[in-house]
Amino acid sequence: MKQRMSLAGLRSDRRGTSLIEMAIMIPVLLLMCCGTMDFARIMYAGIAIANSARAGVQFGALGPGNSGDTAGMVQATLNDAADLGVSNVTATARNFCACTTGSGEIPCSSNCSGITPSGYVSVTASYTFNPLVPYPGIPQAVVVGRTAKMRVQ
């Protein structure tokens, strides 16, 4: 009988339950917080890489003299993405010609129905993103890449 009384007393005693609930929920809340931070970081990286590719293309499109300076376009891209870390950012640049009719890339020495083809520059930038927490089922390194193209002025 005494044992039944003590079990009934434990059921009615609610002291410490909020502490136990908090101890269970804190790891879940921290994992959700880290996931939110990683999501924001990868979104920022995507925007920063797109902007850096655009900066490299703008450098190359300033004039015909800059369109052949692929090293300058790559350097402009890397300078714009400096806040992401130079070791994780790579860039490639190229120039090409195309007709204004949109028939694709052609050699710059050919003609587009008697018209000289337009010169274009393209920069591809990529960044290797590493999440803060290793999540199961999600790769440990994600490559974020963007390409920008612009007609030479």
pLDDT of residue 94: 93
CB count within 10 Å of CB 35 equals 15
pTM of the model: 0.78
Give yes or no for residue 102 having a pLDDT over 80: no
The one-character DSSP state at 115 is B
- pLDDT above 90: percentage of residues in the chain: 51
pLDDT of residue 93: 95
Report pLDDT digits (tens) over 6-48: 655 556 667 788 888 999 999 999 989 998 999 999 999 999 9
CB count within 10 Å of CB 42 equals 15
pLDDT of residue 114: 75
> Parallel, antiparallel, or unpaired: how do β-strands 142-151 and 118-129 relate?
antiparallel
The mean-pLDDT minimum among 51-60, 79-88, 110-119 falls in 110-119
pLDDT tier at 4 (50, 70, 90 boundaries)?
Answer: low
> Parallel, antiparallel, or unpaired: how do β-strands 118-129 and 89-98 relate?
antiparallel
Mean pLDDT of 71-77: 95
| Per-chain mean pLDDT for the chain | 87
